[in-house]
Structure 1
Amino acid sequence: MTEARPTVVLLYQRVSLPWIFEGAARAGVDVVLVPRPDEEVRADRLPPAVVEVLPLDVEGDPAGALDALRKRHEARPFHGVATLYDPLVPFVAEAAELLGLPGIGRDTALGAQDKRVMRERLSAAALNVPRFARVDGPDPEPGLAAAGDLDFPVVVKPAHGFSSLGVTRADTPEALRGTVAEVRRVCAAKLGVADAALVVEEYLDGPEFAVESLVSGGRVRILSIGYKGEPEGPYFEESVYRAPAVLPAAVRDAVVREVTAAHAALGIADGPTHTELRLRGGTKPYLLEMGARIGGSGVSHYVASHVSGVDLAAEALRIAVGGAPAGGYGEGLAEPVGAAANYIVPCGGHGRISAVHGLDALRDDPRVDHVVQMLFPGDEVRPYPDFTGYPAFVISRHGSTAEAEEFHALLERAIRIDYAEEATA
């Protein structure tokens, strides 16, 4: 006997970020929440649509977590499995296959999560890929030798990394060896992976963009293209996200073609995707990554929904439980109906935070819908290339992208993080 309403198991979603839970309520989908191990979820303060909390140590004991999901499904069947947490995309695909539920499949998930495989598959499809080398296994020498033939500067990044973790620019072949060792040290400390697999790829000049898409039956609907700044390194800390991006028509069309073709190359036929790319020379799109998930723990839903009018969170969950998007969307780029932005407060240093200035005044600003603070006084911020997390998001709606840009310029002056002075001996 199945449950009366469609039910999705949602893994590792923070309850402080509301969009996916609100989307589930709008879609009429119940949520069984597998919480993040570092977050306490109170039974009397569950987000919308959450009907059950199922604690599982997915990263520490994936086999045990799979077995627990199997037993839960046998006792009370659910209809789908989903995550917005990029490291768990392959686990979700494996769980869906094991239980006979909708999903993208393990092989597709591998291409959407392993940057080495992704670049190989995009290259095989004749899409734009920077020249790259793999650094695999405990001995980095073969990979370093292959990387020596690339044009410098290059960027070193974990093959299974997320956000800005470990992403570092190396300007010379002489600097590359130390950069590889440092990125592997960060991966060992942060991901618990010794001798982590890395990608070394040629640095791409030009601005960076994020593309939010919804795919159903292989039909790719691009909801928004957003500007992400022009980070030059060495550590590529994110700072802004404004959509819709202002682009010449020919460049915008090239982005749409490249992103649409990348879905086919990677085999992503159903669900949401979050793509990050650079415009080399300001005109030619090169994919940096494509995640088979809603990006930014749900922030991408906020941006895409306000720009396109499409309820990305609700539609993604309908697909996750085996349904079809209620909107019946076609292909190509949606016509913008508004503008939205996320100001990603930069760390601006490292050490122990003593004060965060400027956020409280924004909570009553009519342009701001959410101030999401993740780091607080007393928290320790580790220096890059380690990635502690973002101090805060300031998420807002605007009449135009130009207004969002003016607002972000104001925030750059208004928000400041102070760090305690280190005691001297």
Structure 2
Amino acid sequence: MKPKLLHVLGAGPWQLPTVRLAKSIGYRVLVTDVYAERPAYALADFHEVVDITDLERTLQAAIDHRIDGIICDTTDVGVPTAAFVAERLGLPGIGYETALNFTHKGRMRQLTENAGLLVPRYRVISSPVALRNAASEIAYPLIVKPVDNQSGRGVSRVSNDSGLEAAFQAAKSCSRSGDVLIEACVVGHEIIVDGFVVSGQPKILGVADKEPYPDAVTVSARIHYPDGERRPDLDRIQAATSATLSALGLLNGVFHAEFIVQARDVVPIDVAARGGGCMIYSHLIPHVSGINVMRAMIELAMGDLPAIEPATVPRAANIEFIRMPPGRLAEIFGVNAAAALPGVAAIHFNVQVGEQIGALDDKDCRPGYVVALANTAAQVIDVSRRAKSLLSVRMDGTAGPVAVF
């Protein structure tokens, strides 16, 4: 009897750990991706060149290969597709309507507001005609973002009329539907909550503090998971997380949520029904919580409800982001020395030598990051800083290396 076949949406570097783990468990793997050449093609048993946002073509590939389960655990844009295919084939999934709740920010705002949660004032618009009216109704400062993208693409903070039109056009250019969300800027401390829902019961596996860049407030300079000392706001965070997930309809599966914590309120900003990026899903949460969420997602996709019992005393983890001077990247120095430091789990660069380094317009413009894991917050911050201090770059036209920052 052939081993069961798992369909993984996406075949890029972020899907490689999922494919490797599924294979190690004993499953066969089909991957689909829009690009003709992807690293997971060589690792999987089968692959098809199919856009993971194309519902019908993905469904046909799943039917042709007679899959036993389907997963999209690392990218928002494939979450509705995985849910659609699972629903049509009678396989485990979160449900297509639920997937839309998590991937369309307008729906997300409406549902959480209807459930009685505090949400920022907002409008969903699609044309410049409605732009000024929406801005005047909500009042500056504003956050302008596409309703259906990820990684901060097309997100801007606007302080006055002069930047409004450019922010709208940037958001619209990144919106698959053409809709743009305009909302009030919520003041407070931004956190990330990662976890897993089993039979409607959410388990929090990690709570991280986000520290923004002073000159790019919608982009994080650091994401820090502290150690086991109990947060004074944990009860409020747990209540807001449970209420948000219930409003959006997630009964089983991983989640990655962003909230703003104020003096009295915990305000939902964005919630994804997939794992967090920058190795949060694959490295940080397993270390912090003791739960292999990737394995849990594979089990869920293949019809088994996983047991999720996180460690009672979480460990610490940290992502320290890297910036470089503007210009064309000529050389990177110190990677091996930094990676050799005890506690450094990974050093990742989003850019290669020869590429242009520009302004920090969104999260995807960050050139790279250091991932560190340790038992305590003090240890993990120290490791991150020491690793980053060993890294330097040379830009075209300059005489020598300069430190990353």
- Tell me the TM-score normalised to structure 1 length: 0.84
In 1, Cα distance between equivalents of 2:172 and 2:14? 31
Displacement of 1:418 after TM fit? 4.5
Q: Percent identity?
A: 23
Per-residue deviation, residues 166-203 of structure 1 (Å, max 9, x unmatched): 11110024432332123334x2xxx6x5x821111111
Coordinate RMSD, CA, aligned: 2.8
Counterpart selection for 2:45 from 51, 74, 81? 51
2:32 aligned residue: 34
Helix, strand or coil for the counterpart of 1:93?
A: helix
Instruction: Pick which of 382-391 and 165-174 moved more.
Output: 382-391
The corresponding residue for 1:105 is 95
**Which residue identity does 2:48 align to in structure 1?**
L
State how far apart, in whole Å, the 1-side matches of 2:87 and 2:215 are: 39
Partners of 2:163 and 2:366 in 1: CA distance: 27
**Would the aligned equivalents of 1:275 and 1:289 in 2 still touch at CA under 8 Å?**
yes
| Structure 2 residue matching 1:120: 3-state secondary structure | helix
The one of 339, 345, 348 equivalent to 1:369 is 345
Q: Which residue of 1 aligns with 2:220?
A: 238
Task: Select which of 302, 327, 342 maps to 2:319.
Answer: 342
Aligned mates of 1:203, 1:8 — CA distance in 2: 41
Other-structure match for 1:207? 189
Q: In the alignment, does 2:249 pair up with 1:267?
A: yes
Q: Distance in 2 between matches of 1:402 and 1:298?
A: 21
**Which one of the candidate residues 149, 155, 171 is aligned to 2:143?**
155
Unaligned runs of 5+ in 2: 399-405
Q: 1:216 aligns with which of 179, 198, 205?
A: 198
| Conserved? CA contact 1:81–1:321, under 8 Å | no
**1:123–1:395 Cα change, 3 Å:** same
Superposed CA deviations along residues 88-126 of structure 1, whole A, max 9, x for unmatched, are 111111111121111111111111001111011111111
Who is 1:404 aligned against? 380
Deviations 1:330-351 (A, max 9, x none): xxx85233222222323x4544
Alpha carbons 2:344, 2:383 under 8 Å: kept: no
Could you tell me whether the CA contact under 8 Å between 2:228 and 2:313 is conserved in 1? no
Which amino acid counterpart does residue 384 of structure 2 have in structure 1? Answer: H
The letter for the 1-side match of 2:355 is D
Number of aligned positions between the proteins: 398
Say if 2:44 is the partner of 1:63.
no
Counterpart mapping for 1:23-422 below 5 A: 23-25=21-23, 27-35=25-33, 37=35, 39-41=37-39, 46=43, 50-59=44-53, 61-73=54-66, 77-136=67-126, 139-185=127-173, 187=174, 193=176, 196-231=178-213, 234=216, 236-244=218-226, 249-280=231-262, 284-296=265-277, 298-325=279-306, 327=307, 329=309, 335-346=312-323, 348-385=324-361, 388-420=364-396
Secondary structure of 1:89's aligned partner: helix
Q: Which has the higher contact order (CA 8 A, sep 6+)?
A: 1
Distance 1:248 1:306, change over 3 A: closer
When normalised by structure 2's length, the TM-score is 0.88
Instruction: Report the residue type matching 1:252 in the other structure.
Output: L
Instruction: Give, in whole Å, the separation in 2 of the partners of 1:13 and 1:184.
Output: 27
One-letter amino acid of the counterpart of residue 51, structure 1: D
C-alpha deviation, 1:399, in angstroms = 2.1
Instruction: Work out whether residues 139 and 184 of structure 2, in 8 Å CA contact, stay in contact via their aligned partners in 1.
Output: yes
Of 227-236 and 102-111, the range deviating more from structure 2: 227-236
Q: Match for 2:81: what amino acid? A: F
Unmatched 5+ stretches in structure 1:
none
Residue aligned with 1:63, SS: helix
Residues 299/22 of structure 1: CA separation in 2 closer, same or farther (3 Å cut):
farther
Post-superposition shift, 1:369?
2.0
Counterpart CA distance in 2 for 1:154 and 1:226 is: 24
Contact 1:135 1:144 in 2 (8 A): no
Whether the 8 Å CA contact 1:356–1:416 is kept in 2: the answer is: yes
3-state SS of paired residue (1:404)? helix
Mapped to 2, the partners of 1:356 and 1:314 lie a distance apart of: 34
**For the Cα contact (< 8 Å) 2:338–2:390, is it kept in 1?**
no
Contact 1:352/1:379, CA 8 A, preserved across alignment: yes
Change (3 A) 1:409 1:395: closer
Mapped to 1, the partners of 2:321 and 2:36 lie a distance apart of 22
